[in-house]
Every structure is written in C-alpha cells, then in structure tokens.
C-alpha cells in the first residue's frame, strides 16, 4: 500500500472501534437480554420499579449536586481572588492549588479519613457529610482551575468600562465578570458532577455504606450479573449524555486544559 | 477588611487541601497507628515500605503499567491524530467524536463495559494482563489525541509541502518536519497518560488479574483490612509521592520560566 498520511489513522481507528464502540454495543445487548440471550425489558423495568435502585439514583444525585455546589462556592471566590490579584507569582500560586490532583486519590482520601477520624471520633456518625467532604477534597482542584483560567483571560477593560459607565463594584462583578466566566464554571461543573455520581470508592473508604450509582455496578460485577450491571451502566450513560448535551461548550478544551500540562 | 478576606479565603482552602496530607506525612515518621496520638520518631514505616515484597511489587507493577500504557497510548493517539487531521472532514469528525466517549464517560462504565467485552464475550483471561493494558490504553490514548490535535492545527501546512518540494519522501517529511512540530503535544499527552494510569482505580478493578494490584486498588483494599503496619507504611508511600509531585511541579515551573525568559530575549 502506498504511504499516505491518512493511513496513519487506521490503527487508532481500529482501536477505537474495537475497544470504545464495541463495548458500548455489548453493553446495550446485555442490558436488554436475559441469561438465555433472549430480548427482555426486565432489567429496565426492574431498575425503575425497584425502590432500592431508585433510592440509589436519588442518593447519587444528592451527593453529586451537594458536592458540585460546595465545590463551586469554594472554588469561585478562590479562582476570582487569584485571577484578579496583582501578584506576579499568581501562576505559581494556582499551581499550589492544583498540585494535589497529581497525588493518587486513594492516598489523599486516606489522609482525609485519618483527619476526619481524629475530629469526629467515629466516621459512621456523619456519612453524608463525610462523603461530600471526601468528594470535595478529591475534586476541588478540577473546579478551581477552569474558573481561574477563564477569569484570568477576561479582558480587564470590560469591568473598567462598566465602572466608568456608573456600575458599582458589585454591579460590575455580577453583570460583567460572572456571565463572562460562565464557560469556566460549566466545565468545572462537568468535571465534578459526573465523577461525584460514580466514584463509590470515596464512600467506601469513608465507611459510608449507602450505595451510589457506581457502587451498584460494582455490586453487580461482584455477583457476575452482567445483565443487571449493563442496565445500570446504560442508565449512567443516559445521564452522562443528557449532562454533556446541557454543558457542551468548550468541553475538550477544558478537559485537556484541566490537567495543566 | 476586604483585603483581609482576599487573603483569608485562599489560605483556608490551602489548609483544607494540604493539612491532611501534611499530617499524614508527619505521622509517617512516628510509630503511631493513628493521627493525633503522640509517639516517638522512627523510620520504621519507610523500612516496611521498601522491604515488604508485596508492597514493592505493587509499586513496581503500577509504575510499569503506567509506563507501558503511556507509551502505547502515545503511539496510538499520535498516529490517530495525524491520520484524522489529514483525512476528509467526515472521517476526522467521526474519529474525534468517538475519541470523546472515554473522555466524558464515567470510568466505572468504561471499565465495566471493557470487562464484559474482553473477558465475558471474548473470553480473554484477566491473568494475561491484556484486558488491563487495553483498559489503560483506552483511558489514556484519547487524551494524547486531544493534546496532539491543537499542535497540528497550529502548524504551518506549507512546511510539509516545502519538504516534499525539496525532494523529501512523504515518510521522511513526516518524521523530520511534522513530528518535531507536534512533539510538545506528544510529551504533554504522554505525561497526562502517566498520571491518568497512576490515578486510575475503576478500570483496573474491572480488568486486572486477581493477584495483581495497582497503588489505588491496593490502598482501597488495605483501608478495609486490619494490618496496621501495612496501613502506616502506606502513609510513608503517600509522603514520598507527595514530595515527588512537589519536586516535579517545581522543575516543570522553572523550566517553563526559563523558556519564557529565552523567548523574551530572542
């Protein structure tokens, strides 16, 4: 075959087809069949009629929503203060805030767990609070970074113009800075919300035995129940799709930029 | 008052982020089995970390896995990016869309679906490490692709044509002209791949051999167990990784500073 730059893409194309597209198809197949390979809607109806699985869905949404709001409330002021500060070394300071994301998350959660045990005595008293704290501890840098990146790139003359035209400081902030920083907020939310719905290890390590969506997949996996597990994965995929469509703006930009490399 | 708040908020957040890690680091040098208890100074945890076979092989295994998957991911992702970039618009947009799936997808779903496909449908035993390596390459390669594409877009297309006009074969032009232009993107992608693989828990859990552990899966299991000497040895590991990450971040920062200064001079 004649050498062409296009053919270079073939290996990766094959790889994606085999290990990204095919698993999704298999997931669909397993979700809608039973152990005998016969088509069934049983897994679907089971999920939406079983109070346990529905409870899990709502509990994950509650954890994810709370975590996202807490992260946002902490990250926005920090990102804003850093991005608008006149310090020369602010690029170094922002590095200090995001450095923890390179340390293995299980080790970081171990550290948090020891501290929480010291403070609370017994972790079992506040399972929800601890889980949200754990998720926040884990994901906060992923919220700070994209917000900082958008605010730091904002044209400073816009807020000045607003001030010159008579807006007070609060008005300029609310009407100019906040709307312009929304893309960063959105990509921050998308990097916190979904992991917070599925990262069940944080709950496990902090002794919260309530299930979230991820834990359901884990339990089906442990029981070799591929059909039930596939349905949960499919429901999660649905949520992810809806969420991505809602937040789809500069997604890949934020994701790669999110690693600050 | 306002100025005070501007300093207080970031400092409090920094304390929240760093106090747990630093406390763990402090207590890793004592013989205490929990934070808060005052005990005597010792290097025992570090000794355990380096002399226990189980811990050593777990660390080496994690590093080898990260390195191997990152190399494969960088190769595949770069080839994919170059191929997609020079293909018809339709082909490249399909590739970019499919490439986004593992990026956006929850790792639990990626891991679980790969486990079903490779282990249940194809019947590849997990002991062969094939599902694990495929899983980690699937996790990492899309990020390499995303790091290389912008570099291709920034590149002057005339460069490649000029090389051809000057008599270079397409292959040579690619190696000598295109690759140097996108090298920084490949390095970024490679580093990302390493960190993603090191941090992964979910894909490893669903695809790894039962006898093999990465740092993440090992730590998670260890916190459920009752072996206190292993538990506190992991504090030592956490401290070492923390120091290593700080050093790496500093080196990277100094490097980019130097580069900026050079560019400013030029």
Span B79-129, pLDDT tens digits = 999 999 999 999 999 999 999 999 999 999 999 999 999 999 999 999 999
Closest residue of chain B to A77, computed from CA coordinates = B9
Residue B112 is nearest to which of A103, A106, A229, comparing CB atoms? A229
Domain B60-212, second-level architecture:
Orthogonal Bundle (1.10)
Q: What angle do CA A76, A72, B247 make, to 5 degrees?
A: 70
pLDDT at residue number A219: 93
Distance between CA atoms of B196 and B135, rounded to whole angstroms? 12
* B172-191 pLDDT, tens digit each: 888 899 999 999 999 999 99
What's the pLDDT at A256? Answer: 42
Between B216 and A250, residue with greater pLDDT: B216
Residue A99 to residue A101: CA distance in whole angstroms: 5
B63 in contact with chain A, both atoms CB, cutoff 8 A: no
The whole-number average pLDDT for the span A128-135 is: 96
pLDDT band (50, 70, 90) for residue A261 = very low
pLDDT tier, A252 (very low <50, low <70, confident <90, very high otherwise)? very low
Q: What's the confidence (pLDDT) of residue B1?
A: 62
List the domain boundaries for chain A: 54-257
Out of B104, B146, B237, name the one closest to residue A244 (CB): B104
Instruction: Give the model's pLDDT for residue B120.
Output: 93
CATH architecture of A54-257: Orthogonal Bundle (1.10)
d(CA B249, CA B133): 27
What string of H, E and C letters represents the secondary structure of chain A? CCCCCHHHHHHHHHHHHHHHHHHHHHHHHHHCECCCCCECCHHHHHHHHCHHHHHHHHHHHHHHHHHHHHHHHHHHHHHHHHHHCCCCCHHHHHHHHHHHHHCCHHHHHHHHHHHHHHHHCCHHHCHHHHHHHHHHHHHHHHHHHHHHHHHHHCCHHHHHHHHHCCCCHHHHHHHHHHHHHHHHHHHHHHHHHHHHHHCHHHHHHCCCCCCCHHHHHHHHHHCCCHHHHHHHHHHHHHHHHHHHHHHCCCHHHHHHHCCCC
Residue written as token pair 């975590």 = A67
Q: How far is B186 from chain A (nearest CA, A)?
A: 11
User: Which residue among A99, A118, A226 places its CB closest to the CB of B116?
Assistant: A226
Kindly determine whether residue B80 and residue A198, on different chains, have CB atoms separated by under 8 Å.
no
Domain boundaries, chain B: 60-212
Residue B229, pLDDT above cutoff 90:
no
CB B105 within 8 A of CB A10: no
CB pairs under 8 A between A and B: 246
Say what the pLDDT of residue A192 is: 94
pLDDT for position B5: 80
Is the CB of residue B163 less than 8 Å away from at least one CB of chain A?
Answer: no
Stretch B117-146: mean pLDDT: 96
Which chain A residue lies closest to B102 (C-alpha atoms)? A20
Q: Is the pLDDT of residue B21 over 80?
A: yes
pLDDT for the residue numbered B253: 78
A261/B188 CB distance under 8 A? yes
How far apart, in whole angstroms, are the C-alpha atoms of residue B207 and residue B118?
A: 9
Residues of A in contact with B146 (CB under 8 A): 252, 255-256
The token pair at B174 is 């690619």
Residues above pLDDT 90, as percent of chain A = 60
Query: Which pLDDT score, from 0 to 100, does residue B266 have?
Result: 61
Is the pLDDT score of A69 beyond 70?
yes
Q: Which of B86, B110, B241 sits opposite A107 (nearest CB)?
A: B241
Please give the pLDDT value at position B31. 87
Q: Is the distance from CB of A39 to CB of B115 less than 8 angstroms?
A: no
**Averaged pLDDT, A89-109:** 90
For chain B, what is the mean pLDDT?
91
Report which of residues A164 and B67 the model is more confident about. Answer: B67
Q: What is the pLDDT of residues B204-226, one digit of tens each?
A: 999 999 999 999 999 999 887 77
Residue A59 C-beta-side C-alpha neighbours within 13 Å: 23
Q: Is the pLDDT at B143 greater than 80, yes or no? A: yes
């Amino acid at each position: 075959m004649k050498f062409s730059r296009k053919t270079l893409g073939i290996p990766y194309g094959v790889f994606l087809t085999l290990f990204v597209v095919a698993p999704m198809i298999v997931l669909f197949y397993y979700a809608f069949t039973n152990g005998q390979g016969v088509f069934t809607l049983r897994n679907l109806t089971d999920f939406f009629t079983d109070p346990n699985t529905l409870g899990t869905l709502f509990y994950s949404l509650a954890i994810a929503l709370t975590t996202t709001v807490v992260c946002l409330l902490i990250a926005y002021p920090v990102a804003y203060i850093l991005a608008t500060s006149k310090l020369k070394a602010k690029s170094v300071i922002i590095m200090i805030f995001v450095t923890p994301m390179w340390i293995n998350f299980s080790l970081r959660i171990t550290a948090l767990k020891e501290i929480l045990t010291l403070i609370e005595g017994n972790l079992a008293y506040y399972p929800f609070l601890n889980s949200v704290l754990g998720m926040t501890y884990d994901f906060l840098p992923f919220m700070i970074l994209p917000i900082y990146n958008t605010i730091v790139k904002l044209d400073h003359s816009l807020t000045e113009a607003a001030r010159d035209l008579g807006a007070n400081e609060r008005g300029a902030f609310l009407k100019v800075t906040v709307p312009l920083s929304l893309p960063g907020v959105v990509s921050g939310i998308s990097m916190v919300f979904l992991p917070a719905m599925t990262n069940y290890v944080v709950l496990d390590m902090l002794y919260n035995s309530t299930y979230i969506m991820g834990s359901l997949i884990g339990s089906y996996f442990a029981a070799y129940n591929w059909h039930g597990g596939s349905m949960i994965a499919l429901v999660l995929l649905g949520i992810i799709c809806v969420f991505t469509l809602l937040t789809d703006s500069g997604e890949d930009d934020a994701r790669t930029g999110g690693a600050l490399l | 008052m306002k100025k005070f708040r501007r300093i207080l908020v970031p400092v409090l957040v920094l304390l929240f982020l760093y106090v747990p890690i630093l406390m763990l680091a402090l207590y890793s040098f004592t013989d205490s089995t929990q934070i808060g208890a005052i005990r005597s100074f010792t290097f025992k945890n570090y000794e355990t970390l380096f002399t226990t076979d189980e811990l050593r092989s777990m660390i080496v295994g994690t590093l080898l896995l990260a390195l191997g998957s990152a190399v494969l991911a960088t190769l595949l992702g770069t080839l994919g990016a170059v191929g997609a970039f020079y293909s018809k618009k339709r082909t490249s947009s399909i590739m970019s869309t499919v490439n986004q799936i593992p990026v956006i997808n929850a790792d639990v779903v990626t891991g679980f679906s790969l486990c079903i496909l490779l282990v249940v449908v194809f019947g590849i035993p997990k002991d062969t490490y094939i599902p694990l390596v495929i899983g980690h390459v699937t996790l990492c390669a899309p990020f390499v692709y995303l790091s290389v594409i912008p570099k291709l877009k920034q590149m002057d297309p005339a460069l490649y044509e000029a090389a051809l006009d000057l008599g270079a074969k397409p292959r040579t032009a690619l190696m000598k002209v295109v690759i140097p232009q996108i090298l920084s993107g490949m390095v970024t992608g490679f580093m990302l791949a390493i960190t993603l693989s090191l941090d992964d828990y979910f894909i490893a859990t669903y695809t790894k051999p039962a006898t093999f552990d990465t740092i993440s899966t090992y730590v998670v299991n260890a916190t459920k167990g009752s072996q206190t000497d292993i538990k506190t040895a992991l504090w030592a590991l956490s401290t070492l990784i923390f120091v290593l990450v700080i050093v790496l971040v500093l080196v990277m920062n100094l490097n980019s500073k130097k580069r900026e200064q050079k560019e400013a001079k030029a």
